[in-house]
Amino acid sequence: MKVVKALDEQNVEQEHTEQEQVTDKKTGYVHIKKFHFILILFFLVLLSTGITTFALSFGEEKVITVGTERSEFDKLYAAYDTLKSGYFEELDQKKLINGAIDGMVKALDDPYTDYMSVEEAENFHSSINSSFQGIGAEIQEKDGHITIVSPIKGSPAEKAGLKPNDIITSVDGKSLQGMTSSEAVTIIRGKKGTKVELTIQRPGTDAPVKVPIIRDDIPIETVYGEMVGDGIAKVQVTSFSTNTSKDLAAKLNELQKEGMKGLVLDLRQNPGGLLDEAISISSMFVPKGKLILKVEDRNGKTQEYPSQNDGNPDFPLVVLIDKGSASASEILAAAVSESAGVKLVGETSFGKGTVQTAKDFPDKSNIKFTTAKWLTPNGNWIHKKGIKPDIEVPLPEYASLSIINPDKELKLSSSSTEVESAQKMLKAIGFDPGREDGFFDEKTQAAVSSFQAANNLPADGVLKGDSTIKLMEKLREMIETNDTQLQKAVEVLKEEMK
């Protein structure tokens, strides 16, 4: 790569009258003859490409030795030099270089490939390896929008009612339009106890809703399990982090001691995580030697990953998936379905069929980029299509109701989509408002007062603050109690246990 630059380009143009440049193709030298001035040349060490350019001066004739020819970068360096010499303000070289890398990454139009600043890279590593502070939601950039993949179980995001596919349009009034997911994470995260207000647009609703959330510690506890009766256990895996396979093995051993004879493995709203963990966990349920997945590179070369287990577990299994099940959770679901004949129950999964790797730079910034696509054991690519369950079961309609802003006051004569959501929530938990059209009348007021009295809240008939939060909390409990997907999975499992 040739980089020839004068320290004061403007003065050189005024002083010299003749310049001849000759490139010797055999030797790789560029000879520049200049008259009437002494030209000072400098060399640049290009850390990102390993290219070094040396400049040597011999009186009036200058000989520049070019280490490596990279003509595709000529335009990039010309743009850099133009800005460096001609921009009306002093330039931040580091900022320009970071911007150039970020621009290359964005040109790929791949929501899973990101350049991360030092701060963004720290957030990325902490979300995989340890606890962090924030709202607790996996997000991605999709079609130019920042979209929720899944809220983390027990997180402030889940408690606030965020759902997969919710679009975050702004944070504290700042638009996220055009941001990468890494840039958005930096804005959304913050110290425990601080408040952040998200503007959420839920698909199928007309108006966006402002959702205030108090940030908290988000521990990376990824395995939750309990006995649900009749020798059946339910284990939920919320993501695939560093110790997930180890924690799952311990939980299964614990549940077997409690009498587990069948297992419902819940992968709903699991946004994925580490490939190695997905392979380790899949190996717990797929017979040894049978395929877990295939990874195909850009040249079409395929690497197969067989199970390392000694055989099937000694209990029947059913797996739950939904539209928030993505990436590594889809690897696991596809592996047990196609290589172990396990039934899948729920809704079609998210559909992420690519593999990413991350590379740290010396300054601790990072690039996460797509390296391959993964295929199911039968060679299916589920990208943007998802995995269709054997038995499709939706949750009740009220499980997808729009969230309500607790800071907004809903009272007599109010009319809005949030009032409509509140009316449907009240009816679902047993406080019939008499109507569900979004107009807050006397019957709605009476339903709110009854709900407040039943929950030891001031019975003023106004829905705001603690009353709104309690209403959404009670709805979430109702969804868990009337979990139609889990009920169907248990039913299927009982048939297999006979």
Catalytic residue positions? 327, 338, 352
Distance CA 337, CA 315 (A): 15
Distance CA 208, CA 247 (A): 39
Closest by alpha carbon to 20, among 6, 5, 35, 9? Answer: 35
Q: Is the backbone of residue 315 left (phi > 0), alpha (psi -120 to 50) or beta?
A: beta
Helix then strand count (H, E) for the chain reads 13, 24
Contacts of 87 (CB under 8 A, 6+ apart): none
Distance CA 113, CA 453 (A): 51
Strand pairing category for 262-266 and 232-237: parallel
Q: Is the backbone of residue 289 left (phi > 0), alpha (psi -120 to 50) or beta?
A: left
Compute CA distances 382 → 265, 327, 331, 334, whole Å: 21, 10, 10, 9
Contacts 24+ apart (CB under 8 A), 469-475: 469/406, 471/404, 471/422, 471/425, 471/426, 471/429, 472/159, 472/160, 472/161, 472/403, 472/404, 472/425, 473/159, 474/425, 474/429, 475/398, 475/401, 475/425, 475/428, 475/429
**CB contact at 8 A, 269 and 153:** yes
Strand pairing category for 354-360 and 366-375: antiparallel
Distance CA 383, CA 373 (A): 9
